[in-house]
Amino acid sequence: MSAPPEILLAHHLKQLKLPTILREYDKVAALCAAEGLDHVRYLMRLVEMELIDRERRMVERRIRDAHFSAVKSLDTFDFTAIPSVNKMMVLELARCEFVTRRENVIALGNSGTGKTHTALALGLAACQRGCSVSFYTAAGLVHALMEAKDERRLLKLQAQLQNVKLLIIDELGYVPLSRTGAELLFDVFSQRHERGSTIVTSNLPFDEWTSVLGSERLTGALLDRLTHHVNILEFNGDSYRLKHSKARRHAAAPKAEPEAAIETAIDPETGEILEP
């Protein structure tokens, strides 16, 4: 006795990786019958559903693979809070043509001004537009490189870093790097040069990058590559977190605390508001 056709069909659809058609074919058949649609339109509707779902699954997969520290978009970014940032440039970058052109982006400015938020939003936009993305903090990337070196899998990690369409390196500047660390980071920039796009965020102006990378020669060579095709975003302004927390505190307590008391409650290293 042969298996019922539903079982065989389910098996084949699984093998063909068409989970949406498998899930929906019965329901959609009933709908199409009720609407009097022929078999071609029925099939078309199912295939379209599979395509839409597949695109959504691929975006989700790219977002998972990117290892973003948080998922943020430009929809929640208030450009009026940071007038120094060129909004038109950010919106243009969110179209992700810079990734196709293999250009870099550097976001510079004080802590808490929205650099990471913007980098995450550009990363998300790139995932949605079909580009592979990897997100690291500078310290995290250097740690991963050193660990890979110790475990003799540096070449594999370097190949991955070289092949990703958009690499985001957040927070260059908070932690000074060891000599090996700086050299490994330099190699990443060198290997990606004109092969893929890189976004770097930093609290330090270029002339202070030597303090992180150690050597002036290395810093010069790194900046040379990074700024060859570059879009620079300047985040000059007050910390959004700080302003926000002031606003919250003012709202909570109409007789506001002196601002100096609030300012001292900020971690000078990370810009995080320290809980009282």
> Which residues contribute to the site for Mg ion (CB under 5 A)?
116
3-state secondary structure 117-149: HHHHHHHHHHHHCCCCEEEEEHHHHHHHHHHHH
Q: Which DSSP letter does residue 71 get?
A: -
Q: Could you write out the DSSP letters of every residue in 14-45?
A: HHTT-HHHHHHHHHHHHHHHHHT--HHHHHHH
Rounded to a whole number of angstroms, the minimum distance from the CB of residue 117 to ligand ADP is 3
Residue 101 · residue 227 · CB < 8 Å = no
Q: Work out what residue 264 binds among Mg ion, ligand ADP, none; the CB cut-off runs from 5 to 8 Å by kind.
A: none
Residue closer to ligand ADP, measured from CB, 77 or 186: 77
Residue closer to Mg ion, measured from CB, 82 or 157: 82
Residue closer to Mg ion, measured from CB, 104 or 239: 239
Residue closer to ligand ADP, measured from CB, 19 or 237: 237
Residue 48 · residue 36 · CB < 8 Å = no
- In angstroms, the CA 25 to CA 14 distance is 13
Rounded to a whole number of angstroms, the minimum distance from the CB of residue 63 to Mg ion is 19
Q: Work out what residue 62 binds among Mg ion, ligand ADP, none; the CB cut-off runs from 5 to 8 Å by kind.
A: none
Residue closer to ligand ADP, measured from CB, 225 or 246: 246
Residue closer to ligand ADP, measured from CB, 159 or 247: 247
Applying CB under 6 A, the residues found at the interface with ligand ADP are 72, 76-78, 81-82, 111-117, 201, 235, 240-241, 271
Residue closer to ligand ADP, measured from CB, 81 or 144: 81
Rounded to a whole number of angstroms, the minimum distance from the CB of residue 172 to ligand ADP is 11
Rounded to a whole number of angstroms, the minimum distance from the CB of residue 207 to ligand ADP is 19
Residue 233 · residue 103 · CB < 8 Å = no
**Please, how many CA atoms are within 13 Å of residue 236, restricted to the half-sphere of its CB?**
5
Residue 104 · residue 231 · CB < 8 Å = yes
Q: Work out what residue 246 binds among Mg ion, ligand ADP, none; the CB cut-off runs from 5 to 8 Å by kind.
A: none
* CA torsion angle 186 188 189 191 (round to 10): 120
Rounded to a whole number of angstroms, the minimum distance from the CB of residue 78 to ligand ADP is 4
Relative orientation angle of helices 19-35 and 5-15, to the nearest 10 degrees? 130
Residue 248, number of CB atoms within 10 A of its CB: 10
- In angstroms, the CA 2 to CA 163 distance is 48
Residue of minimal Cβ distance to ligand ADP: 114
Q: Which two tokens stand for residue 152?
A: 């003799």
Q: Work out what residue 225 binds among ligand ADP, Mg ion, none; the CB cut-off runs from 5 to 8 Å by kind.
A: none
Rounded to a whole number of angstroms, the minimum distance from the CB of residue 95 to Mg ion is 23
Rounded to a whole number of angstroms, the minimum distance from the CB of residue 113 to Mg ion is 9
